[in-house]
Structures are given as C-alpha cells and as structure tokens.
A and B are shown apart, each in its own frame.
Chain A
Amino acid sequence: MPQFAIIAVSILFDGLAYAMFLFITSVGLSVTMGLMGFVNLAHGAFAMAGGYIVVSLTRDLGIGFAPSLAIAAVAVGAVSVVFERGLYRRLYKATDLEQVLLTIGLAFMAIATATYLYGPIPKSVPLPPWLQGDINLGFRAFPTYRAFLIVLGIALISVLWYGFEKTNIGAKIRAAVDNRRMAESVGINVDLLFTLTFALGSGLAALGGGLAIQLFGLSPSFAVLYLVLFLIVVAVGGLGSLKGTLLAALVIGVIDTGGKYLYAEAGGFFIYAITVIVLLIKPAGFYGRE
C-alpha cells in the first residue's frame, strides 16, 4: 500500500475513534437543547462525574473497566433526574441567560466538589488486558482501545438510531423536537419525555467521561474544559438531530485529526475553521431546522 494511503487510513481510524467519543458525549446535549431549548452548560459536569465514578469503581472496588462504564452511565443518568426535576424544571420557561447562569453555577460547584473528593491530581484508570496493546493488520497496527471506542460507538449509534426512528417513544421525541406545542396538543407528555431523554443524555455523557480518561486523563476541570468542543459538535450538527450530531462528530473528528497530523503548526485552527465555515453556510447546522 502506498504511503499516502496508509496515512489516510490511519487518519480515518484515529479520527473515527475521536469522533465516537465526541458523539457519545455530545448527543445528550444536542437532544436537551433541541427538545426543550435548554442550555445545559453543566453537561460536562455529568461527564466528569461519570469519569470519577469509573475511577472509584475500578481502583477502589476492583470492578472491571467495562462494567464500571455501564454502572457510571446508569448512576449518573439516574441522579441527573433529580437535578432535572429539582432544578432544571423550574427554568424551562426562563430565558437562555438564566439557564446559562444556573448551569454554569452548577458546573463550578461540581468542580469544587470533585476537587474536594478526589484532589486536583489527574486520575487515570487501569485498562483490562484485552483493551491494551494494538491490533496489527499487516500494513498498520491500530491501538486496541481506539478500536474498542469505534465498535462501542457504532453499537450505541445503532441502538439510538433504532430507538429514535423505529420505536413509539422515538417518534414522540422527534415530534416534540419538531413542534413541541403540536406534540403536546396531540397528547404527548413532553415533560416526561424530556426527563427520559435528559437522563439518557446525561448517562451517555457519563459514559463519554469514563471513556475520555484514557484519552485526556481526568481532573476536576474536565467539567468545563471540553465544553466548547461539545457545543461545537451540537451547533455544527444541528439542534436535536441524531444524524446531525453524528455527522458533525465525524467531520470534526476526522478533520481535526488530519489537520493535526498533516499541519500540526496550525493544529488549533482546524476545529474552529470548520465550525465557522459550516455555520456560515448552514446556520442551523447540518440537520437543524432553519
């Protein structure tokens, strides 16, 4: 295989793995913003919480990495319902600005709490042997963990797609995103729907947080550090669109990876340049409603 093809394959592979992380972590944010117009800047805090739960489970209780991820996702999803019912609910009718204030406040509190509980030193998790090392395909060796990310991402996308497109509840969610009032008037309980999707989104964020430890390490400021990245994926993809979020994650993941590989000197530019170009042409993102 010629050199440029090998490079292209590895950029695609690394970009795909990165994209899966972006998708998993951002999709919940997209749905909450699309469905309720709620600006949840504490989304990263849920991801961080998931990460720390994984750290505790694997290090202190000796539970395996994969089951820990699942437990963290479920636990954070469940706890997020408390926040949604107790705090967020009060502000659905409020302005974006008030929502920003509330959720930024929560993110700050989450950072301080995590610092108190875990200290500021970045944490990492022990990976099981089956996720270590690399898979050699002859022309190129691929890190096993990234292959795992891709497989997991594809599996999740399939499940979400099926849930969104083929089930009754998915149809209701889509209806509510398209036109909330109409959905309510035909008897869809949008409030309940929102609680469910909020929990799902937060759970997925927690999963993303757990997966991110291996990529970035985990420290309390994770709650806000990558928020901009998630918001970019959401905006470029289009609010509330599963398809859009996936496409945005792929585009950003692959172009960012390629940019860093080929033109490292301008590495920081690529993500923002794509964002600006896409939004100038399609203001509502790939699949957002204009």
Chain B
Amino acid sequence: MTPPRDAAATAARDRAAEYLVSRHRYRWAEALPWLACIAVFFLFPDRLTFGSQVLVMVLFALSLDLILGYAGIVTLGHAAFFGIGAYTVGLGAAKLGWTEPVSGLFAAFVLASIGGFVSGWFLLRYRGLTLLMLTLATAIMLQEAGNLGSEFTGGYDGLPGLVFDPLLGRFEYDLYGHTNYVYALVVLAVVFYFVRRIVYSPFGQALTGIRENVRRMHAIGSPVHWRLVTVYTIAAGIAGIAGALFTQTNAYVTLTVFEFENSAKVMVMLILGGTGRLYGAFLGAAVYMIMEDYFSKLSPTFWQFGIGLLLVLAVLFARRGVLGLFEQAGAYFAKDKNKGSKP
C-alpha cells in the first residue's frame, strides 16, 4: 500500500531530487581547471615535461580520492597499484615488445584492477590503522619481491631506455614534452569523466553513505563489502593508468614507484587539495608540485621547510583543503544567489 502523500512531502521530495540532479550537472567553474591546463600548453611551452608529471600525479590523486574521499578507505599502499601499472607497460615494452602506448594503458588498468580486487577482497574487512599498515606492508612486499627478481625487473636501476611507439602511430615524443602533455591531459580528461559519472551515480551515493555511517548502510541491506571492493578495484585500475602514464612519459621506471613515500605523497597532495570533491585532486597535486618545484629552485637543500610550512598552514587555516578556501570564497560572493537551491 502506498502511504498517503501530502503536498509538503511531495514538494520536499522534489526538492531533494532536484538537488541530487543538480549536483552532477556541470557548472561553469568546472571548466576552469581544464582551461588552465590548456592555457599552460600555450603559455609555457618549455615547461611541459614538468606539466605532464603534474597531470600524472593529478590522475593518481584522483584515483585515491575515489576511495579515500568518497568511500572513506584510508590506505598507505596505493603506490602498489601505481607500481603495477608502471611495470605492466615497462615490462611489456622491455620484455614483450608491447610498445603501443594506448593499449598499454588498458593492460595496466586491467592488471592493477586485478591487484585491487584481490587485495581489496582480503583487506577491506579491516579499517583504520590496521588497514593502513596492511596496505603499506603489501606495497612494500611487492617492492621487495621486485628486488628479489631484479634480473627480470632491473631492480632499483630499473628498466632503462624504454621506447614506445609514436602516439596513435603519428606523434613522436619530442624533447619539449608537447606530445606527452597532451597525451596525459586527454587521458586525465577521459578518466575524469568516468570518475565523475561514478561518484554521482547511485553507486557513488552508496559509497558516501558507507563513509558517513557504515552501520546504517549495513542496516538498510547495502552490500557494503562488495561496494567497497568494487570501488577499490576501480581506483586501483585508475592508479594503474597513472602509473603506466608515468612510465610512458618518463620512458623509464624503477622499483621506487612502490615506495611508501609515493603512497604518502599522493595522500598528502589529496588532503592538501581537499578530499571527496574530485577537483581537490587537481588543486592538491598541482599546488604541491608547483610549490615543491618553486622551493627546490629557490633552495635545493632546504626546500622541505617551505613544503612543511605550507602543509602546516593549510591545516591551520584551510581545514577543507585549498579547494575549501575557494569554495568559501565562492560561497561568500554567491550567498544570495544560491539561497533557494540549498536543501
């Protein structure tokens, strides 16, 4: 039997539906980061090598945002999947002669996803510090395994002189990194589109529910474990793509991609930018890397002080990350305009 509806309830329901729909509508502000990326290509043509490294980290941070920001899974082993992706295309090119770059990305996605699925199925039963240490240990054990098999993986000296086919059979990798930059940007945009679809889908809403109140999600019969494993698998795959891009843009990879530092750094970037908002990954990775680049030019020896200070100040004054600052500023100016649409 359907419960009787009165007008107020219907109105409330419509408002809620409208809100949910409006959230995944594209807003004009979302064009800004992409326009900035395109502008960089034309304004700073001799800094594109650095630029493509930033884009790779943005992609990596984005994959972490999917699990950390949306599903609340805190991990210190995300570098494991980055590494699997990096070595998929690295070993593929060095040992199998698989030098076509775009199909390499797919292979990296698949293998890293498998890694994510297997480890996620075992590990996502745990939470908090336990999960942190389990993921961390997994990544380091992969690294150790790679070192044991250094005849094959090249160990810490890595796989040198990887040569990839020209992109789409046409575009050579130039010294200035034009090709790499555009390549990384397009890959990022495509992945971003899918990630955005995911987080605003019912599945994404369920993840947020798990993050906010896991007991209630269990109570309403949501398959919590499977949802977490699913998103973990997807995020692992995306991290794998980031790793594959990393190898391809550098034409080189060493075992240090599995390092704890790599996992920690991407997490720091994401928190700095702001978690659970997609564009936080953009801002965090960009701000962190540009500041790191700037400080390390200013003082190659003491630049860590500047980065450290940046992080401390961000925590003290920008609680919701750098993106939070922008949002506050935006909300301040647009207070009146948005009044009606807030639920």
Asked if B162 CB lies within 8 Å of chain A CBs, one says no
A interface, how many residues as a size bin?
A: 35 or more
Nearest A-chain residue to B125, judged by Cβ: A283
Interface string of A258-280 (1 = CB under 8 A from B): 00000001101100110110011
| Given A105-B312, A273-B141, A112 contacting B305 (CB threshold 8 A) | yes
> Which residues, 306 to 343 on B, are CB-close (under 8 Å) to A?
307-312, 314-316, 319
Interface string of A239-256 (1 = CB under 8 A from B): 100000000000000000
Name the residue in A87, A91, A266, A269 with the highest tally of chain B Cβ atoms < 10 Å from its Cβ. Answer: A269
The interface residues of chain B lying within 8 Å CB-to-CB of A112 are 302-305, 308
- Of A94-102, A152-160, A167-175, A200-208, the one contacting chain B is A94-102
The interface residues of chain B lying within 8 Å CB-to-CB of A109 are 304-305, 308-309, 312
Task: Select which of A96, A105, A113, A283 is within 8 A of B130 by beta carbon.
Answer: A283
Measured CB to CB, the closest approach of chain A to B72, in angstroms, equals 10
Asked if B180 CB lies within 8 Å of chain A CBs, one says no
Task: Select which of A87, A94, A120, A275 is within 8 A of B133 by beta carbon.
Answer: A275
Measured CB to CB, the closest approach of chain A to B268, in angstroms, equals 6
Q: Is the CB of B74 within 8 A of A97?
A: yes
Bound Cα distance A239, B133 (Å) = 13
Q: Is the CB of B133 within 8 A of A107?
A: no
Task: Select which of A96, A107, A111, A265 is within 8 A of B148 by beta carbon.
Answer: A265
Asked if B262 CB lies within 8 Å of chain A CBs, one says no
The interface residues of chain A lying within 8 Å CB-to-CB of B148 are 265-266
Q: Is the CB of B74 within 8 A of A284?
A: no
| Given A33-B129, A273-B141, A275-B137, A115 contacting B315 (CB threshold 8 A) | no
Q: Is the CB of B301 within 8 A of A115?
A: yes
Tell me if A's interface is mostly helix, strand, loop or mixed. helix
The interface residues of chain A lying within 8 Å CB-to-CB of B308 are 104-112
- Of A14-22, A123-131, A186-194, A228-236, the one contacting chain B is A228-236
Asked if A116 CB lies within 8 Å of chain B CBs, one says yes
Nearest A-chain residue to B307, judged by Cβ: A108
Q: Is the CB of B141 within 8 A of A269?
A: yes
Asked if B267 CB lies within 8 Å of chain A CBs, one says yes
Q: Is the CB of A101 within 8 A of B137?
A: no
Asked if B144 CB lies within 8 Å of chain A CBs, one says yes
Bound Cα distance A184, B138 (Å) = 39
> Which residues, 79 to 106 on B, are CB-close (under 8 Å) to A?
none
Asked if A90 CB lies within 8 Å of chain B CBs, one says yes
Interface string of B130-157 (1 = CB under 8 A from A): 1011101110110010011000000000
Residue total for B at the interface (Cβ-Cβ under 8 A): 39
Task: Select which of A102, A110, A239, A272 is within 8 A of B140 by beta carbon.
Answer: A272
The interface residues of chain B lying within 8 Å CB-to-CB of A102 are 311-312, 315-316
Bound Cα distance A97, B134 (Å) = 18
Nearest B-chain residue to A113, judged by Cβ: B305
Nearest A-chain residue to B138, judged by Cβ: A276
Name the residue in A105, A276, A280 with the highest tally of chain B Cβ atoms < 10 Å from its Cβ. Answer: A105
| Given A97-B74, A97-B271, A269-B141, A279 contacting B134 (CB threshold 8 A) | yes
Nearest B-chain residue to A90, judged by Cβ: B316
Bound Cα distance A105, B308 (Å) = 4
Asked if B50 CB lies within 8 Å of chain A CBs, one says no
Task: Select which of B138, B141, B260, B305 is within 8 A of A108 by beta carbon.
Answer: B305
The interface residues of chain B lying within 8 Å CB-to-CB of A228 are 136, 140, 260
| Given A235-B132, A239-B129, A284-B130, A100 contacting B141 (CB threshold 8 A) | no
Asked if B179 CB lies within 8 Å of chain A CBs, one says no
The interface residues of chain B lying within 8 Å CB-to-CB of A232 are 133, 137
The interface residues of chain B lying within 8 Å CB-to-CB of A231 are 129, 132-133, 136
Measured CB to CB, the closest approach of chain A to B83, in angstroms, equals 15
The interface residues of chain B lying within 8 Å CB-to-CB of A87 are 312, 316
The interface residues of chain A lying within 8 Å CB-to-CB of B129 are 33, 231, 234-235, 239
Asked if B231 CB lies within 8 Å of chain A CBs, one says no
Measured CB to CB, the closest approach of chain B to A243, in angstroms, equals 18
The interface residues of chain A lying within 8 Å CB-to-CB of B140 are 228, 268, 272
Q: Is the CB of A100 within 8 A of B268?
A: yes
Interface string of B177-217 (1 = CB under 8 A from A): 00000000000000000000000000000000000000000
> Which residues, 138 to 183 on A, are CB-close (under 8 Å) to B?
none
The interface residues of chain A lying within 8 Å CB-to-CB of B147 are 268
Bound Cα distance A287, B182 (Å) = 53
Task: Select which of B137, B301, B304 is within 8 A of A272 by beta carbon.
Answer: B137
| Given A109-B305, A279-B126, A104 contacting B134 (CB threshold 8 A) | no
Contact surface of A with B, Cβ cutoff 8 Å: 33, 87, 90-91, 94, 96-98, 100-102, 104-113, 115-116, 120, 228, 231-232, 234-236, 239, 265-266, 268-269, 272-273, 275-276, 279-280, 283-285
Apart from A94-B315, A268-B144, list 15 A-B contacts with CB within 8 A.
A100-B267, A101-B315, A102-B311, A102-B316, A104-B308, A105-B314, A107-B308, A116-B302, A231-B129, A231-B132, A232-B137, A235-B133, A276-B134, A279-B130, A279-B134
Show 5 A/B contacts (Cβ-Cβ < 8 Å), sorted by A. A110-B308, A112-B302, A234-B129, A235-B132, A279-B126
| A-B residue pairs, 8 tightest by C-beta | A105-B311, A108-B308, A112-B305, A109-B308, A105-B312, A272-B137, A235-B133, A102-B315
